[in-house]
Structure 1
Amino acid sequence: MTTAAPDLEALHRNYSKTTYLWGNITMVACLLLATAVPFYLYFSTDLGIEVSHIVTAFIAVAAVYGVFWVVEPVTYFPILGPAGMYQAFMIGNISNKLVPSAIVAQSTIGAEPGTRKASYSATAAICGAAVVHVLSMLVLVGLLGTWLVSITPEPITEVARLYILPAILGGVTVQLIATLNQVRATIIALVVSAVVVLLIVPFSPPLVKSFATAIAVIATIVITWYARDRKVRSSSDTAHIN
């Protein structure tokens, strides 16, 4: 007796349909909850909050961080995939926790970013990262937080604050470079980053400095696009990506 092979395309279509349906529902729900507080205070309290205050605060934040509304989704999507994107923007700590987890998982199983295999592995990695994060928060912060802070010498705390995150991001960057094996794009990214860090940031007004990361990302994307290999990919390459 033989068992019929599953229709992988049908399974993937059903998976994608479910992902987009519930992803959009949860994103809208989170948006409403996240933006409800100022309006709740406006309509339910006598704190003197005016609509002009809310609008002014929104414009002030959007002027600095608005560019990341476009840059972050474009940057993260090839690595995380659709389901991973919904997870990531609900959980947070994307660049320093979820993207590194996805990259490690993809590198371990040999999945190339942009493929279905990479998307599935990123989703599983994000689930694992979220579980570890929540459990560690419960133990190290919820149960032992105050005690650990009281016994930790201040120099150690300062070193951890200054160097742990750069060390994590640096290690992830090196691993991503080795995994993708894109020499041309890597050189362009390094040159653009050096120009931004060494020339633009030190000699620019504060407003421009606030957009330093966005400038580096957008410039790298644009230059890499125009410097790409314009040879037509073979059908086998196209099939591998799809």
Structure 2
Amino acid sequence: MDNREFNEVWNKPVIKVGMITLLLGAVTSFLPCFYLYFAHGVIPNISTILKSWGMIASLFGAFYIVEPISYYSIFGLAGTYLSFLSGNMSNVRIPCAAMALEATETKPATKEAEIVSTLGITGSIITNLIGVTLAAFVGAALIKVLPPTIADAFKNYTVPAIFGAVFGQFSLKYPKLGVVGIGIPAVLRLTTKLPSWVLIIASVFGTIVVAKIMYNKENLNKDKEVTA
């Protein structure tokens, strides 16, 4: 399937459905606010709204830029729409998409990867819905009966453990980039007092730049070998 046919069969319908569902998700997320206003007349003033938005933007604003760019090569177009709508991108969607690509031995950033990662993400969303529903009833009760040390470990270390596993998975395949990916934030953290969002942007885009340089160098060496 060439690029034009793939664009007609896959990309255009994905963009259409993705835009509609994401916009609906954005609008419906304000329904509790609409209810409070129309049913009870409760609404914060503009200064409070802007101040609240500013606090959230200062904490997560970097992700507005970093996540779509850094995750796209794994998610693909459809997977990006699905993941931003369903959430849990870094701790669930990326591992599932990456494992789907690895299990099928599919090269990232290809048409095949677009389909495979979408199937992996879709399966994770269905499983996640079932698991979250069960966890809502069972998980909270289970945490309460566990010793405080174990409960605190679940709360504090689950996400870092997932991030570490994903990092290890990719580092095994690309060890040089793994060193770069962990080295940039480590050096910046030890030598500067930059805020976390700057470290995130520097780490992501720094690793992308180094990966691009390594990729170009590898291709140049191959061209020289072919010419020789």
Inter-partner Cα distance in structure 2 for 1:8 and 1:157: 50
Partner of 1:193: 185
Q: How many equivalent pairs are there?
A: 222
SS at match of 1:67: helix
Pairs within 5 Å for 1:26-105: 26-35=21-30, 37-38=32-33, 41=36, 45-47=40-42, 49-105=44-100
Deviation per CA, 1:76-119: give whole Å up to 9, x if none: 00000000000000110100000011111111111111011111
Tell me: CA distance 1:7–1:198, structure 2 relative to 1, closer, same or farther (3 Å).
closer
Identity, % of aligned pairs?
A: 25
TM-score with structure 1 setting the length: 0.78
Relative distance call for 1:234 and 1:57 in structure 2 (3 A) is same
- What secondary structure sits across from 2:216 in the alignment? coil
1:176 aligned to 156, 170, 176, which one?
170
Query: Mean alpha-carbon deviation: is it higher for 118-127 or for 96-105?
Result: 118-127
Aligned to 1:117: 112
Match of 1:137 in 2: 132
101, 116, 120: which one aligns with 1:106: 101
Structure 2: runs of 5+ lacking an equivalent? 224-228
- CA–CA distance in 1 between the matches of 2:121 and 2:198? 28
Change (3 A) 1:117 1:177: farther
Q: Which has the higher helix share?
A: 2
- Retained in 2: the 8 A contact 1:78–1:113? yes
Which of 153, 162, 166 matches 1:159? 153
Q: Is the 8 A contact 1:105 1:121 kept in 2?
A: yes
CA shift in 2, pair 1:62/1:39, >3 Å: farther
Q: Which residue of 2 aligns with 1:218?
A: 205
Query: Hey, what does 1:238 align to over in structure 2?
Result: none
Unpaired runs of at least 5, structure 1: 1-5, 236-242
Q: CA deviation at 1:75?
A: 0.5
